[in-house]
Amino acid sequence: MREGGDRSARTGLLKMNFEGQTTDEFIKGLWRDNPVFVQVLGMCPVLAVSNTAWNALAMGLATAFVLLMSNILVSSLRNFIPRQVRIASYILIIATFVTITDYAIQAISVELHKSLGAFISLIVVNCLILSRAEAFASKNGIGRSIMDALGMGVGFTFALLCLGAVREIFGNGSIFGWSMFPDQFQEWIVMILPAGGFFTLALWLLIFNIIKERKAS
């Protein structure tokens, strides 16, 4: 009876430890290690396609999908990929899912595909995805790799939406295409230009760091 109880207790502790680890892997991508506001990764799509909320959401979801699927495959094959060709293998895996995403977006909306343009293909060289494959998925099991990808993907999408919403509201006077201001509102054209992306990113970085410092104190 005692051995059975000890075994059950150990199993319970291991399960709680695993659940705590996977939850932490998810939360860190949302806040503590947010890929945009903390690690400042993937700045090319962040600044280029976040001129509207729709574009930001689409790019965020596309990146999250590629990140999730590549993490799963890299984690599954981590014991079979030779170390000498691991980076080339990771890029091939990522490129496969980027191609799938590219065709899927084109099938769903040609207009959206044109809006995102070459930045869909450039997901292949997004340092966020390659870094998670190399630093995490290649060293951990599928469960933890999935939670890591979901956390980082949702965190990246959230950051893109923050930028896209602000830029569209002030640049077009709308959000997701819905008008928010009367006709007299004067749009800030600079917000939908490249310079507006830098201004908005700087503002969000300031806000994010102020919140983190207050929570830490």
pLDDT score of 165: 94
181 phi/psi in degrees, rounded to 5: -125, 160
Give residue 41's pLDDT. 87
Is residue 15 pLDDT above 60, yes or no?
no
Please give the C-alpha separations between residue 129 and each of 70, 87, 136, 138, in angstroms, as whole numbers.
8, 12, 10, 12
> Which of 15-24, 29-38, 70-79 has maximum average pLDDT?
70-79
CA angle 23/27/36 to nearest 5° reads 150
If pLDDT is split at 50, 70 and 90, which confidence band does 215 have? confident
> Is residue 7 over pLDDT 80?
no
Question: Is 23's pLDDT higher than 80?
Answer: no
pLDDT the model gives residue 181 = 81
pLDDT band at 27 (very low <50, low <70, confident <90, very high): confident
Q: State the pTM of this model.
A: 0.86
Give the model confidence (pLDDT) of 139-187 as tens digits. 999 999 999 999 999 999 999 999 999 999 999 989 988 888 888 888 8
Average pLDDT, the chain: 87
Cα 70 to Cα 139: distance, rounded to the nearest angstrom = 14
Q: Do the beta carbons of residue 171 and residue 51 sit within 8 Å?
A: yes
Q: What is the predicted pLDDT for the residue at 186?
A: 87
- What pLDDT does residue 20 have? 52
Residue 152 · residue 35 · CB < 8 Å:
yes
